[in-house]
Amino acid sequence: MAANTLLVELGVEELPPGAIDELSDALAEGVRRGLTEADIDAGEVFAYASPRRLAVQVHDLDDKQPDRDIERRGPALAAAFKDGQPTKAAEGFARSCGVTVDQLIHLETDKGTWLGYREQQQGEATTSLLPAIVQKAIDALPVPKNMRWGASRVEFSRPVHWLVMLYGNQVVKASALGLEAGRTTRGHRFHAPEPIELAHADDYLAALEGAWVLADRDQRRERIREQVLAEAEVLDAEAVIDENLLVEVSGLVEWPVALTGSFDERFLEVPPECLISSMKANQKYFHLLDEEGRLKPLFITVSNIDSAFPDQVIQGNERVIRPRLADAAFFYDTDRKRSLGDRAPELAGVVFQKQLGSLSDKAHRNAAVAAFIAGGIGGDVHDARRAAELAKCDLVTEMVLEFPELQGIMGRYYATYDGEHHEVALALEEQYLPRFATDAIPQGRTGLALALADRLDTLTGIFGIGQRPSGTKDPFALRRAAIGVINILVKGELNLDLRELLELSAAQHQELPYAEGLVDEVLAYMLDRFRAWAADEGIEAEAYLSVRARPVTEPLDFARRLRAVQGFTRREEAAALAAANKRVSNILTKQEHDGDIRVDAAQLQEPAEKTLYEAVESCRDKVMPLFAEARYSQALDALATLREPVDHFFDQVMVMAEDPAVRRNRLALLAGLQALFLEVADISLLQQ
């Protein structure tokens, strides 16, 4: 079969930059899936996009479906003929196949012989299938918000003005979104406004680049990156390229041209984060740093035109950014006229959650828990309480109301300006760490206490009113809060009992409809999050399950056990000892053993059980101090030496002896063996 290139392009008015990538990928995936379902072989599928177009290019696309052998089964042979003559069933089946009875074949199966028909079905031409495939892909696009235009009833994210569908040099006869497919595309709105006739689908990228459009998203982004870095190099500065901003800027231009502008140095008196947020959020500018990492009074903008008068473009951007930065300076000056502490009463009017009260209520709860935690980790109790009282006060400042992403950051600046203790000011920013699983944790003890208290309050409160996460719904980000607590306790090496913290946090709430069993439920939920944490650490599921089976409530201790068990699984003795522990568990369960591990040495009869007893006692002396110091890896290494005496015991000793005293003694020996391993984890579950 012959193969050629397919091109599909939707020409639109400027799309929302944040939606371009998702729409582009979805269109390409929809076309790819449609071709697969139609059994049409194809090569690579490429997704292209710019503010004014969504396009898909499919290379080496076969010109038709493959021919297929179709086999149909009719009535059983016994029912197809009577007295040597075809029955109505046989004649009806032949008629449905478009043949006579004598043209049918016999199909042999394990259930008998049947009448059948076999024919070769010719594959359909790809061009005849493409209209439905493309239409289905367009219909499935995740358009954030549809609109109508003109008198048309057609709906899409933005008005659609042209449709290209080419298979090689052939226009595919199709229509979509009220447009007939053709070969006419358009280049840059200003540099190349005239229509462009595409002779072949392979000409797409080159033809558009000749018309001042880079349709390849990756190429366009790298062009922007290169230009921004080049501008910075000329200025002897470091350009900070935020990848999210790069994607957004790429969605705003078709032919990027980086230009450098400046702003008044007086604005540098404002915290740099404020200026950067204003430049990024409002104007989509890249900021520049000097060699010491300080913000320079410069910015790089990416224009969508290659102007003959770039100075005028730069001056226009400078005129626009000046009032934006002036606003930031005004907010900063205005906010500092009142201290954070003076704003605390305003939090009573800001609802945290209807049933859980205001941010003021949350601050009081956090203060009690943060003070307790600080006392337990060597922090300053007064600082922790003060930080909790001030933690949310910056949310009612003008700056944070304008730039919500500066919450915490502005709290630190304003607290420092107010003369608050350094640890308190730092904690106001660190309370939001970690923001994601791999993020840094707070460095200060006050920040650690506040970050933990705030998350624990949210978890107990939201669970306590019955708003547990379900499926993909987690409006209060409880999963992130739980993993945040785990990361803080583990990475911060904080020996804190999670049950105790949850009980204290739950007690701060005046009334919770689902208070009964609340701590157990939240504790189980949080420890279950260790599965994801363990996976990120490269720890296998079996190791997690073996530790989770034990009543461990200290996350740091939980993590140490996980790492120890994961290391143990790599030992050659691991499988045999896991199997032995499984066997011991089954025996003790079946015999309903009471857990007594006291062994009467005088009752030991067989050499193998005496050897095991001596080995277990010797190991106990070695590992109990290791357990006390949470040195689980070394303890498991010592327990691994029990493999040989355990194997010999099961090979040579009958546990269920007829003498009840001997039997009870052997069960106690096995219970003692199991108890040593259970000090770390239930390694019998490694068999799963």
- Residue in the structure block whose two tokens are 């069993």: 517
Residue 199 has φ and ψ, to the nearest 5°, of -75, -30
Q: How many domains does the chain have?
A: 5
Contacts of 490 (CB under 8 A, 6+ apart): 533, 555, 556, 559
Residue 385 has φ and ψ, to the nearest 5°, of -65, -45
Say yes or no: 272 and 314 in one domain.
Answer: yes
Say yes or no: 55 and 95 in one domain.
Answer: no
Compute the Cα dihedral for 415, 420, 425, 431 and give only its sign. negative
In a domain, 404, yes or no: yes
- Residue in the structure block whose two tokens are 């600082």: 383
Strand bridging mode 112-121 / 105-109: antiparallel
Q: Which residue in 653, 655, 678 sits closest to 595, CA to CA?
A: 678
In a domain, 278, yes or no: yes
In a domain, 554, yes or no: no
In a domain, 551, yes or no: no
Say yes or no: 48 and 197 in one domain.
Answer: yes
Say yes or no: 222 and 263 in one domain.
Answer: yes
**What is d(CA 341, CA 322) in angstroms, rounded to the nearest whole number?**
32
Say yes or no: 314 and 412 in one domain.
Answer: no
Say yes or no: 317 and 252 in one domain.
Answer: yes
Q: Which residue in 338, 592, 388 sits closest to 505, CA to CA?
A: 388
Domain boundary among 276, 301, 335: 335
- Expressed as residue numbers, the domain containing 81 is 68-121
Q: How far apart are the first and last CA of the chain?
A: 50
Say yes or no: 348 and 475 in one domain.
Answer: yes
Q: Is 354 exposed, middle or buried (0-12, 13-18, 19+ CB in 10 A)?
A: exposed
Domain boundary among 306, 335, 364: 335
In a domain, 233, yes or no: yes
Q: What number of other Cβ atoms are within 10 A of residue 349's Cβ? A: 10
SS (H, E, C) 171-207: ECCCEECCEECECEEECCCCCCCCEEECCCHHHHHHH
The one-character DSSP state at 602 is G
**What is d(CA 649, CA 345) in angstroms, rounded to the nearest whole number?**
72
Which residues on neighbouring strands pair with residue 81, listed in sequence order? 86
Contacts of 6 (CB under 8 A, 6+ apart): 31, 42, 56, 57, 58, 61, 126, 130, 165, 166, 167, 201
CB 332 within 8 A of CB 270: yes
**Amino acid 687: pLDDT:** 64
CATH of the domain at 669: 1.10.730.10
**What is d(CA 313, CA 93) in angstroms, rounded to the nearest whole number?**
77
Contacts of 338 (CB under 8 A, 6+ apart): none
**H or E segment and range at residue 621:** helix 607-628
Domain boundary among 279, 307, 335: 335
Which residues on neighbouring strands pair with residue 68, listed in sequence order? 121
Mean pLDDT in order along the chain per 10 residues (688 residues): 90 94 96 94 96 96 86 86 87 88 85 84 88 95 87 88 96 94 96 96 97 97 97 96 96 97 96 96 94 96 95 96 95 97 96 95 97 96 98 97 96 97 97 92 97 98 93 88 95 96 96 94 93 87 90 93 91 84 80 74 82 88 92 91 87 82 83 88 79
CB 7 within 8 A of CB 57: yes
**What is d(CA 418, CA 400) in angstroms, rounded to the nearest whole number?**
17
Q: Strands across the sheet with 257-262, in order?
A: 238-239, 286-289, 295-303, 257-262
What are the DSSP calls for 382-437, one per residue?
Answer: HHHHHHHHHTTGGGGSHHHHH-GGGTTHHHHHHHHHHT--HHHHHHHHHTT--SST
Q: State the helix-helix crossing angle for 217-234 and 243-250, rounded to 10 degrees.
A: 120
Contacts of 328 (CB under 8 A, 6+ apart): 267, 270, 274, 275, 277, 278, 399, 402
Say yes or no: 56 and 9 in one domain.
Answer: yes
683: tokens are: 């390694």
